[in-house]
Amino acid sequence: MNFSERFAVINSGLAMLGRFARSQPRFFLVMIGAAWGVVYETLRPSSWRRTVIIEFRRNLRQLVGSGFFSVVVVAVITGLGLVSQAVYWLGFAGMAQMTGSLLSSVLLREIAPILVGVILLGRSGMLMLTEMGTLTTSGRLNTLNGMGIDPFLVFVVPRTIATTVSGITLGTIFSVIALGMGYVACWMKGIVTSSIWSFIFDVINSMEPGDYVGIPLKFLLSGASVGLCCCLSGMDVTAEDNLTTFMPRGFSRGIMSILVINVLIDIILGSL
Amino acid sequence: MVENATLSEGDYGFVLKLDDAVPFSDSTGLPSVKYNLSLEPGECVFVECRDSFRAAQFTDFCVGLLPVKPDPSTGKGQGTVSCMGLNWAELDEKRAQALRGRIGRITDDSGWIDLYEMHMNILWPSLHHSRTSYDKLVLEAVHLAESFGLPGLPTQLPEKLSLLDRKRSEYVRTFMNRPSLLLLENPINLGGPIELYNAFLTELTAARERGCAVVWIGSERSAWAGYARPGMQRFRLGSNGLVK
C-alpha cells in the first residue's frame, strides 16, 4: 500500500469518525432546543389556538385511553410478582421492617417511571413516530407551512404536553395499583397481617423528602421525553428513510431518553 | 405595528408584488432569474406552467417559503416579494404565518392530514388563523360545500372520499375564511363535471368582487379559456422565468 492509498484509508476513517461524532449529539441538541421551544410556546397564551387544543385533547384521550389498560395489567403483574416476593423474602430474612423502604426505593422510584415510560413509548409513542414520519415524508408538513400553520406548534407542542400529563396520570395509577395488588397478594397468602393503611404508611414513611419531588418529576419528564423524542424522530426522517429504518431508530432514542432522564434525576436529587 | 391593526385594501397598493425578485433555488426548481409581477385587489393573473414542481416552487416563492437570493456584495436580498404591502423577508415567523393565513391555496397534492376527518381538514386553517366561532365556520363551510355539489360537510377520512369529493372539499377549504389572495395550482381538471367547473368559477368571481386577488397556474391554457377576459395578465413560467 503506497502513501496515497494509506492517506485515503485514514481520510475515510477520520471522515467516518467525524460523521459518527457529529451525528450522535445532533439529535440530543435538537431535543434540548425543542424542549425549550415547547416550554416557551406552552407559556404563551396565543399559542393555545383551537387547532392546538384539539390536537392536545385527541392525543391525551389516545394516550391515557389506550395506555390505561396496559398500565393496569402491568401494575397488577408487578404488584403480584415484585411486591409479594419482596414482602415474602424480607419476612423470611427477618427484615420485614425494610418492606416500606424497599418498595419506595425500588418500585416507586425506579421501576414505575421506567415501566410507565416504556408503556407510553410502545402504546402511543410509536404511533406518534409513524404519524409524524408519514406526514413528513408525504410533504404534508410543508403544505401546512404554506397555509401558515407551524407543524411544531400544532403537532409537537400539544403531543409533548399530552404525554407529560399522561405520564404522571398513568404513573400514579400504576403505583397505586402495584402497591395495592402486592398487599392483596401477601394478605391472601397470610404473609402480612397488618392493615393496608399501615402497609401504605410504611411505604410513605420510608420515602425521603426528595422522593416527593423526584418521583413525580420522573413521571412527568419520562412522558415529556417520549412525546418529544417520537415527534422529533418522526420529523427527522429523510427521503431515504422508510418504516424499517426510522421505527427502530425512534424506539431506541425513546428508550434511551427515558433511561437518561431517570438516571439524571437520581444523580441530581441524590447529590442534593 | 399595533397588534390589533388590520389591513384594509386601501392600506396597500398590491396584494402580491414581485419586484425584481430572484428566488434562492437550485437548478432543478424555479430558475434563479428576476421575477416581476404585480397584482391588485380583485385582479386575476394566469400563469401557464407545464412543470408541476416549478409551479409549486413559484407559489412557495409568492408566500415567502422560498426566500429571495441574497446579493453577495450587499448581503441583502435580490429584489423583494411583498404580500399585502408586507415584505416577506422583513417579517418574523409569527407574522409571516399570520399573513399566510390570509392566502387560500390549491396545491397538486392537496395536503390532507389523514389523522383527521375531512370536515376538520377543511376547517383546520380557519380554526387556526381566525377567532370566528366554530358554528359560524361550519355554516360557512356547509354553504360552500353545497355550492360545490356536496350534500354537506364530509365527515369521512380524506382517503375514504372519491377523487371528485376530495376536489370539492379542496375548493371549500380554499375559499373558507374570505382569503385576500388565492394561489391556485391546476385548480381545474378538464375531465370533471361542468357543474363543478361553473361552481368554482362562480365562487372565484365572488371572491374577486370582494377584493381577493388570484394567481391561476395551469398546465394548459384551455383550462381558463372560458374565464379569461381581455386585459387580464397572462404569463408563461418556463426556464427563463416569468415571461409575458
What gap in Å lies between CA B85 and CA B105, rounded to an integer? 19
| Domain extent for A79 | 75-271
* Residue B7's pLDDT band (cuts 50, 70, 90): low
Mean pLDDT, rounded, for A94-111: 76
Give bridge partners of residue A217 from the DSSP assignment. none
A146 interface with B at CB cutoff 8 Å? yes
- The pLDDT confidence band at residue B2, using thresholds 50, 70 and 90, is very low
Q: With 90 as the cut, is the pLDDT of residue A54 above it?
A: yes
Instruction: Band the pLDDT of B213: cuts 50, 70, 90.
Output: very high
Residues with Cβ within 8 Å of residue A170, at least 6 apart in sequence? A64, A67, A68, A71, A116, A119, A120, A219
Give the distance from residue B59's alpha carbon to the nearest chain A alpha carbon, in angstroms.
9
Give the span between the Cα atoms of A149 and B92, in whole angstroms: 14
Of B105, B111, B134, the CB nearest to A140: B111
* A105 has a pLDDT exceeding 80: no
Neighbouring residues of B48: CB distance < 8 A, sequence distance ≥ 6:
B217, B218, B219, B220, B221, B234, B235, B236, B237
| A268 vs A70: CA distance, rounded Å | 30
Looking at residue B105, what is its pLDDT?
92
**Pairing mode, strands B233-238 and B181-185:** unpaired
Domain count, chain A: 1
Distance between CA atoms of residues B164 and B146, nearest Å: 14
CA distances from residue B38 to A195, B15, B42, B83, B241 in whole angstroms, order as listed: 82, 8, 12, 10, 15
Does residue A42 register a pLDDT over 50?
A: yes
For position B193, what pLDDT does the model report? 83
Rounded Cα–Cα distance for residues A171 and A178 (Å):
10
Residue A58 with chain B: CB contacts under 8 Å: 115
Give B133-188 pLDDT, tens digit per residue. Answer: 999 999 999 999 999 999 999 999 999 999 899 999 999 999 998 999 999 998 88
Q: Cβ–Cβ of A146/B97 closer than 8 Å?
A: no
H-run or E-run covering A59: helix A50-78
- Verify whether the Cβ–Cβ distance A50 to B127 is below 8 Å: yes
Q: In this structure, is the dihedral angle defined by the CA atoms of residues B96, B101, B103 and B106, taken in order, positive or negative?
A: positive
Is residue A209 one of the residues assigned to a domain? yes
Residue A135 lies in a domain: yes
Interface test with B, best of A137, A149, A159 (most B CBs within 10 A): A149
Whether B190 maps to a domain, the answer reads no
**Yes or no, beta carbons of A146 and B98 under 8 Å apart:** no
Task: Print the domain residue range for B158.
Answer: 111-178
DSSP string, B47-65: EE-S-HHHHHHHHHHHTTS
Interface predicted TM-score of the whole assembly (ipTM), two decimals: 0.86
Position B36 in a domain: no
Residue A107's pLDDT band (boundaries 50, 70, 90)?
Answer: confident
B99 lies within 8 A of chain A by CB = yes
The rounded distance, in Å, linking the Cα atoms of A76 and A65 is: 18
Averaged pLDDT for residues A234-247: 85
Q: Which residue has the cell 409571516?
A: B96
Residue of B nearest to A148 (CA): B97
Contacts 24+ apart (CB under 8 A), A74-78: A74/A115, A74/A119, A74/A174, A75/A173, A75/A174, A75/A175, A75/A177, A75/A178, A75/A181, A76/A177, A76/A178, A76/A181, A78/A107, A78/A111, A78/A115, A78/A174, A78/A178, A78/A181
Q: Do A148 and B128 touch (CB under 8 A)?
A: yes
Task: Pick the closest to residue A128 from A42, A33, A219, A58 (CA basis).
Answer: A58
User: Quick check: A139 contacting B, CB < 8 Å?
Assistant: yes
Give the chain A residue whose CA is nearest to the CA of B110: A143
CA distance B23 to B26: 9
Contact state of A143 with B103 under an 8 Å Cβ cutoff = no
Candidates A53, A134, A143, partner chain B, best to mutate (most B CBs within 10 A): A143
In a domain, A157, yes or no: yes
- Structure-derived torsion over alpha carbons of residues B198, B199, B205, B209, reported in degrees to the nearest 10: 150
Which grid coordinates belong to A215?
A: 418521583
Report chain A's mean pLDDT, rounded to a whole number. 88
Residue showing cell 395536503: B111
Query: How far is B66 from chain A, CA to nearest CA, in Å?
Result: 10
Cα-flanking dihedrals φ and ψ of residue A261, to 5°? -60, -45
- Is the pLDDT confidence value at B11 over 70? no
pLDDT value of position B4: 46
**B158, part of any domain:** yes
Residue B115: list chain A partners with CB under 8 A.
58, 131
Confidence at B1, pLDDT banded by 50, 70, 90: very low
Can you tell me the distance from the alpha carbon of A251 to that of A246, in angstroms, rounded to the nearest whole number?
A: 8
Q: Which of A54, A143, A148 sits opposite B101 (nearest CB)?
A: A148
State chain A's maximal CA–CA distance in angstroms: 81
Name which of A261, A146, A53, A105 is nearest B66 in CA terms: A146
Asked if residue A65 belongs to a domain, the reply is no
Q: Is the pLDDT of residue B62 over 90?
A: yes
Q: Write out pLDDT tens, residues B18-53.
A: 988 898 877 667 888 899 999 999 999 999 988 888
A143-171 mean pLDDT:
94
pLDDT-derived band at B10 (thresholds 50, 70, 90) equals low
- Cβ-count burial of B30 within 10 angstroms (0-12 exposed, 13-18 middle, 19+ buried)? buried
- Residue A242: its H or E element: none
CA separation, residue A119 to residues A97, A196, B48, B118, B229 (Å): 32, 28, 53, 31, 63
DSSP A94-152: T-GGGHHHHIIIIIIIIIHHHHHHHHHIIIIIHHHHHHHHHHHHTTHHHHHHHTT--HI
Looking at the domain assignment, is residue A125 inside a domain?
yes
pLDDT, chain B, mean? 88
pLDDT tens digits, B66-114: 988 888 888 788 889 999 989 999 999 999 999 999 999 998 888 899 8
Degrees, nearest 5: CA angle A101-A172-A199 = 35
Residue A100's pLDDT band, with cuts at 50, 70 and 90, is: low
Report yes or no: B182 and B204 within 8 Å, Cβ to Cβ.
yes
A49 → closest Cβ in B105, B128, B134: B128
As a whole number, mean pLDDT of residues A216-232 equals 94
Domain total in chain B: 1
Residue A32: band (very low, low, confident or very high) from pLDDT cuts 50, 70, 90: very high
Quick one: how many helices (H) and strands (E) in chain A? 12, 0
For A201, other C-beta atoms within 10 Å of its C-beta total 13
pLDDT at position B27: 63
